[in-house]
């Protein structure tokens, strides 16, 4: 992956670093979106002047409102519109007059309604914006998040910046990625929710993110593409220098219909998208949950194209399942070599014959043997990757035993931190109802995040994320 | 499904209704398994006399111990052995002398060690037991759970009985099924953990459960089969009168190796198992999580072979994903017919053109329209099945909004309760870290359980469970 430098000369970079922001369509109603954008920018905080614009309110959240954009005395770089659709055209003209660089249209009910007059309106808005030198994000979207400059669109987005960028046609899916990933440590350079993509589209954002030195890994949620040729050219030129993880929705007839009324997109052929992924080394995923899982592994794991896995921990049934999952995902789960079995025999004379790969944590007969067996396994040069399972379920059989779950999780997390091999950990998180079980699983996941170890709530998701990431690097290594 | 009656004449039924139980190998160490079995039986409680047997302890948990089985004055029907392997043969002889009917060997380190002397020992134990008229469960297993009689092997198993039976070669997987399912309302007639299956095996238990009037749905976790011919005959004769859900592990080389050291089983060909499922209407699953998901749908939903789904709730991106998932699972997601669109237009003039199937909850512009749209949809005779999504992610954006998530979940649960169509609900449960989000998701799942609605933590799992259950009934209807 490329080493970040501090400067970015791409023309879209200024979108993420405005010196001032106006929120147009603010009201005193704390549940209105304009009010929420204002509060989010004040709270985050955005690092420059924030101007609320409202026809009615004198002051919102302690900030005096302007009645029109042109009434703002200073320069305005970026505008967020929460106006209803029929007021947008006027706003675009005001933006052009004011020298605004970018306009984010939270405003919806445009082309996605499929009504002829709204399709026309959307076209007219974009034409007017282009003539006035204003770039448009949306309409029908949540806009921009950039922790570095303090732009945000959601209270729960982290203040801390990272190196993953996500560009999404769905605002809900952008929110979902936070929901699925941030608690496990996923951190972002930028999140872009761009809805109908009437002006700036997927290719514009992909081109920028491929250049952006703050971004090392790119996630995309697409319902359609505006310019397929340009998009493919970008993927071809990107040459694997940053992983691109793509969730392409609308794979079925029903999905394609839903895509039209969501972002007015044409979703295209499913088979074509699979071919695109194969040809250009794009990592395909099929849900936001899987997107979070894979981005997390790219973020935390050192690059590896290795294929041989050692699984440690859990009980017998879980070990069998993990072995099956690994091999079905294309990994090898090699048996322990005779010399390692002899070494294990020396410190575990009663149980050595039960210790294999996966290493079932429940046959060890004690923590001391478990620790020595796992440490021996982690050093074994016959494997490239490690997967740890904190959760033999009997450790979640009583609150007293849960203390032991914490011990075993801590040991696995330390092993992951000390090992030179990439390691993922899974914590069986099946019971959402019993508070001490919920706490025990959450505590183990927290330890992982703090140590920079990717954590998953079951074996399937851990194995899948490892397979997608190593598959990417294998393809890079083989020159595609 | 068959209607339960109260009598069962199957010879294995007495295993689940012993009049007395002895736990052999009890100690004062509260972490030893013998101590735990004793405490579990006292707590649950088991409804007859419980006799701890210990060479050393005078009294454990307030109950006087006997030094040998033969010292117990009364009759002993069922024995749980926590003795080490080298003491088991003597115990079996004692059991035979005492007229014990069934012996559960928690005792492990037998055939699964693959050591010649242990393979011999296991054979000798079973031969002696058979000669003495004692049936053996195990070795290397957790034993029997039957809430009706008070048998149990785990503190967290519910006291309330249900109609799902689970027979598992893995004790950890039996525990995991509780962990995955009980919080969502799964309830059992019996759980059987039978480990190495040296005497009573999968066919014995399947034959019994097919007859057992307390059991309406059967789950099986198998690592191998002892008698394939008999097992297939049972499936053939079962004739779809009770759903059988099978998780067959050891599908790969690595998995097959793990199976040997776990329960000394031969796992057989993966393709053969898939053919068995197809031919005999067995519902195949690939994890305990999926087992819980599918059993829950069988338990809660009225039988339906319907194929046309209406999805309600969530945001735009989630709606597209749900549509794709449904169609990929073989469901139809029909578009709303013109007359329903006109009806919706009458009460939602601004947004009607955005309301389709899936019904995106975020375009409604207010709760009133959402309620009317979903109620209209639920009555539509163009669909057979309903899926509700409680979790537009922005409802989990702040603790204040979470109150609205509760409202919307309550509405969906009421809709499910009142509808004649089978309905599943999913609650996006992605963040395990933020307490009010964890609570909001848990609260919605709790409402579902209390209303008898199957609940899932994401769309994929809801759709999959619905597809497996309706696929089963479709096959039944078509006479296979």
pLDDT per position as a tens digit, B24-81: 999 999 989 999 999 999 999 999 999 999 998 799 999 999 999 999 999 999 999 9
Alpha-carbon gap: A362 to the closest alpha carbon of chain B (Å): 9
ipTM for this model? 0.92
CATH of B18-137, one of 2.40.50.140, 3.40.630.30, 3.30.470.20, 3.40.50.720: 3.40.50.720
Rounded Cα distance between B204 and B199, Å, is 9
Q: What per-residue confidence (pLDDT) applies to B322? A: 95
Which residue is it, tokens 């393809």? A475
All residues of chain A having their beta carbon less than 8 Å from the beta carbon of residue B224 are: none
Rounded average pLDDT over A1-13: 68
Q: Out of A251, A351, A393, whose CB is closest to B172?
A: A393
Helix (H) or strand (E) holding A168: strand A164-168
Q: Out of B292, B394, B429, whose CB is closest to A175?
A: B394
Q: In what order do the strands lie in the sheet with B455-456?
A: B309-312, B385-389, B423-426, B455-456
pLDDT per position as a tens digit, A247-269: 999 989 999 989 888 888 887 77
All residues of chain A having their beta carbon less than 8 Å from the beta carbon of residue B327 are: 252-255
Q: Out of A184, A354, A459, whose CB is closest to B113?
A: A354
Mutate to test the interface with B, among A258, A332, A352, A392 (most CBs of B within 10 A): A258
Cross-chain residue pair A317–B394, CB shorter than 8 Å:
no
Q: What per-residue confidence (pLDDT) applies to A3? A: 43
Rounded Cα distance between A365 and A349, Å, is 11
> b/e for A338-365, b at 16 or more Cβ within 10 A?
eebeebbeeebeebbbbbbbbbbbbbbe
pLDDT per position as a tens digit, A36-50: 999 999 999 999 999
Confidence of residue A276 (pLDDT cuts 50, 70, 90): confident
Per CATH, which fold does A146-300 belong to? Rossmann fold (3.40.50)
Q: Which residues 6+ apart lie within 8 Å of B392 measured at CB?
A: A172, B313, B314, B315, B318, B361, B362, B408
Contact criterion met (CB below 8 Å) for A148 and A160: no
Cross-chain residue pair A397–B156, CB shorter than 8 Å:
yes
Q: What per-residue confidence (pLDDT) applies to B274? A: 87
Largest CA distance in chain B: 83
Of A383-387, A391-395, B462-466, the least confident: A391-395
Cross-chain residue pair A254–B332, CB shorter than 8 Å:
yes
Q: What per-residue confidence (pLDDT) applies to B480? A: 53
Annotate B204-220 with DSSP letters as a single string.
Answer: HHHHHHHH-TT-SEEEE
| Sign (positive or negative) of CA dihedral A461, A464, A465, A466 | positive
Confidence of residue B126 (pLDDT cuts 50, 70, 90): very high
Q: What per-residue confidence (pLDDT) applies to A480? A: 53
Cross-chain residue pair A251–B324, CB shorter than 8 Å:
yes
Q: Give percent above pLDDT 70 in chain B.
A: 99
User: Nearest chain B Cα to A447, which residue?
Assistant: B433
Rounded average pLDDT over B139-168: 97
Q: Out of B172, B184, B358, whose CB is closest to A392?
A: B172
Cross-chain residue pair B320–A358, CB shorter than 8 Å:
no
Of A36-45, A380-389, A397-406, B111-120, the least confident: A397-406
Cross-chain residue pair B354–A255, CB shorter than 8 Å:
no
All residues of chain B having their beta carbon less than 8 Å from the beta carbon of residue A434 are: 156, 183
Confidence of residue B266 (pLDDT cuts 50, 70, 90): confident
| Sign (positive or negative) of CA dihedral B1, B7, B10, B13 | positive
All residues of chain B having their beta carbon less than 8 Å from the beta carbon of residue A219 are: none
Of A271-285, B191-205, B341-355, B450-464, the least confident: A271-285
Q: What per-residue confidence (pLDDT) applies to A4? A: 45
3-state DSSP call for residue A63? strand
Burial class of residue B9 in the structure, from the number of CB atoms within 10 Å of its CB (0-12 exposed, 13-18 middle, 19+ buried): exposed
Contact criterion met (CB below 8 Å) for A451 and A411: no
Q: What per-residue confidence (pLDDT) applies to A94? A: 98
Report the candidate in B238, B289, B281, B323 with the shortest Cα–Cα distance to residue B471.
Answer: B281
pLDDT per position as a tens digit, B329-345: 999 999 999 999 999 99
Cross-chain residue pair A179–B431, CB shorter than 8 Å:
yes
Mutate to test the interface with B, among A254, A255, A357 (most CBs of B within 10 A): A254
pTM beyond 0.90: the answer is: yes
Q: What per-residue confidence (pLDDT) applies to B8? A: 79
Q: Out of B286, B318, B335, whose CB is closest to A172?
A: B318
Q: What per-residue confidence (pLDDT) applies to B6? A: 60
Of A320-329, A423-432, A449-458, the least confident: A423-432
Cross-chain residue pair A287–B460, CB shorter than 8 Å:
yes
- The DSSP output letter for A113 is G
Q: Out of A254, A289, A460, whose CB is closest to B326?
A: A254
- The DSSP output letter for A120 is H
Burial class of residue A130 in the structure, from the number of CB atoms within 10 Å of its CB (0-12 exposed, 13-18 middle, 19+ buried): middle
Q: Out of B170, B287, B441, whose CB is closest to A316?
A: B170
pLDDT per position as a tens digit, B215-246: 999 999 999 999 989 999 999 988 788 999 99
All residues of chain A having their beta carbon less than 8 Å from the beta carbon of residue B114 are: 353
Cross-chain residue pair A320–B258, CB shorter than 8 Å:
yes
- The DSSP output letter for A30 is T
Rounded Cα distance between A26 and A40, Å, is 13
> In 10 A of CB B88, how many CB atoms?
26
User: Nearest chain A Cα to B221, which residue?
Assistant: A317
> In 10 A of CB B277, how many CB atoms?
17
All residues of chain A having their beta carbon less than 8 Å from the beta carbon of residue B317 are: 168-173, 176, 221, 249, 262, 288
Rounded Cα distance between B318 and A172, Å, is 7
Report the candidate in B251, B276, B275, B279 with the shortest Cα–Cα distance to residue B265.
Answer: B251
Retrieve residue B183's tokens: 């919080």
Retrieve residue A88's tokens: 């947008």
Rounded Cα distance between B385 and B309, Å, is 5
Is the pLDDT confidence value at B2 over 70? no
Cross-chain residue pair B172–A354, CB shorter than 8 Å:
no
Retrieve residue B48's tokens: 């007859």
Confidence of residue B465 (pLDDT cuts 50, 70, 90): very high
Of A391-395, B154-158, B204-208, the least confident: A391-395
Architecture of domain A309-477: 3-Layer(aba) Sandwich (3.40)
Cross-chain residue pair B172–A263, CB shorter than 8 Å:
no
Q: Which residues 6+ apart lie within 8 Å of A15 measured at CB?
A: A78, A101, A102, A135, A137, A144
Q: What per-residue confidence (pLDDT) applies to B1? A: 39
Please report the number of interchain residue pairs, chain A to chain B, with beta-carbon separation below 8 angstroms: 263
What is the residue-averaged pLDDT of chain B? Answer: 94
All residues of chain A having their beta carbon less than 8 Å from the beta carbon of residue B35 are: none
Q: Structural domain boundaries of chain A?
A: 18-137, 146-300, 309-477
Cross-chain residue pair B327–A171, CB shorter than 8 Å:
no
Of A224-228, A444-448, A450-454, B423-427, the least confident: A224-228
Alpha-carbon gap: B445 to the closest alpha carbon of chain A (Å): 8
All residues of chain A having their beta carbon less than 8 Å from the beta carbon of residue B154 are: 394, 397
Q: Which residues 6+ apart lie within 8 Å of A435 measured at CB?
A: none
- The DSSP output letter for A330 is T
All residues of chain A having their beta carbon less than 8 Å from the beta carbon of residue B358 are: 258
pLDDT per position as a tens digit, B348-389: 999 999 999 999 998 998 889 999 999 999 999 999 999 999
Cross-chain residue pair A320–B170, CB shorter than 8 Å:
yes
Alpha-carbon gap: A233 to the closest alpha carbon of chain B (Å): 26
Cross-chain residue pair A357–B332, CB shorter than 8 Å:
no
User: Nearest chain A Cα to B142, which residue?
Assistant: A394
Retrieve residue A274's tokens: 């699979």
Q: Which residues 6+ apart lie within 8 Å of B84 measured at CB?
A: B25, B107, B109
Cis amide bond preceding B184, omega within 30: no
Contact criterion met (CB below 8 Å) for B52 and B66: yes
Cis amide bond preceding B347, omega within 30: no
pLDDT per position as a tens digit, A278-303: 889 999 999 999 999 999 999 999 99
Confidence of residue A479 (pLDDT cuts 50, 70, 90): confident
Q: Do domains A18-137 and A309-477 have the same CATH topology?
A: yes
Rounded average pLDDT over B284-289: 96
Mutate to test the interface with A, among B268, B315, B321, B441 (most CBs of A within 10 A): B321
Retrieve residue A117's tokens: 């007059």
Report the candidate in B264, B142, B238 with the shortest Cα–Cα distance to residue B191.
Answer: B142
Is the pLDDT confidence value at A161 over 90? yes
Alpha-carbon gap: A255 to the closest alpha carbon of chain B (Å): 5
């Amino acid at each position: 992956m490329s080493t970040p430098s501090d400067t970015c000369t791409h023309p879209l970079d200024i979108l993420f670093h405005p010196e001032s922001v106006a929120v147009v369509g603010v009201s005193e109603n704390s549940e209105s979106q304009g009010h929420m954008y204002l509060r989010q920018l004040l709270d985050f905080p955005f690092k420059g002047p924030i101007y609320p614009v409202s026809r009615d309110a004198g002051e919102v959240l302690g900030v005096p409102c302007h009645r029109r954009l042109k009434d703002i005395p200073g320069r305005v770089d970026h505008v967020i519109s929460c106006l209803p659709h029929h007021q947008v055209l006027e706003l675009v003209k005001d933006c052009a007059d004011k020298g605004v660089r970018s306009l984010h249209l939270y405003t919806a009910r445009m082309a996605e309604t499929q009504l002829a007059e709204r399709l026309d309106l959307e076209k007219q808005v974009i034409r007017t914006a282009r003539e006035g030198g204003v770039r448009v994000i949306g309409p029908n979207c949540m806009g921009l998040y950039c922790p570095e400059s303090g732009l945000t669109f959601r209270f729960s987005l982290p203040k801390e910046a990272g190196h993953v960028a996500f560009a999404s046609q769905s605002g809900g899916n952008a929110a979902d990625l936070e929901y699925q990933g941030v608690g496990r440590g996923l951190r972002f350079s930028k999140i872009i929710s761009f809805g109908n993509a009437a002006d700036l589209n997927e290719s514009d954002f992909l081109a920028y993110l491929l250049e952006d030195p703050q971004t090392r890994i790119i996630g995309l949620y697409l319902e359609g593409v505006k310019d397929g040729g340009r998009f493919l050219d970008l993927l071809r030129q990107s040459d694997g220098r940053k992983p691109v993880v793509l969730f392409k929705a609308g794979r079925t007839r029903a999905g394609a219909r839903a895509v039209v009324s969501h972002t007015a997109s044409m979703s295209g052929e499913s088979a074509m998208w699979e071919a695109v992924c194969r040809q250009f080394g794009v990592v395909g995923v099929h849900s936001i949950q899987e997107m979070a899982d894979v981005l997390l592994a790219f973020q935390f794991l050192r690059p590896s194209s290795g294929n041989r896995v050692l699984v440690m921990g859990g009980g017998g049934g879980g070990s069998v399942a993990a072995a099956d999952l690994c091999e079905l995902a294309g990994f090898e789960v090699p048996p322990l070599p005779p010399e390692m079995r002899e070494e294990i025999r020396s410190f575990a004379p009663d149980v050595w014959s039960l210790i294999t790969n996966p290493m079932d944590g429940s046959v060890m007969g004690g923590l001391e043997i478990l620790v020595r067996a796992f440490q021996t396994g982690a050093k074994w040069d016959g494997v490239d990757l490690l997967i740890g399972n904190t959760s033999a379920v009997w450790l979640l059989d009583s609150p007293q035993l849960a203390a032991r779950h914490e011990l075993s999780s801590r040991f696995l997390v330390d092993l992951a931190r000390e090992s030179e091999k990439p390691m993922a950990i899974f914590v069986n998180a099946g019971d959402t109802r019993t508070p001490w079980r919920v706490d025990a699983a959450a505590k183990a996941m927290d330890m992982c995040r703090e140590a920079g170890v990717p954590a998953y709530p079951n074996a399937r998701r851990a194995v899948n994320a490892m397979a997608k990431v190593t598959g990417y690097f294998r393809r890079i290594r083989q020159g595609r």
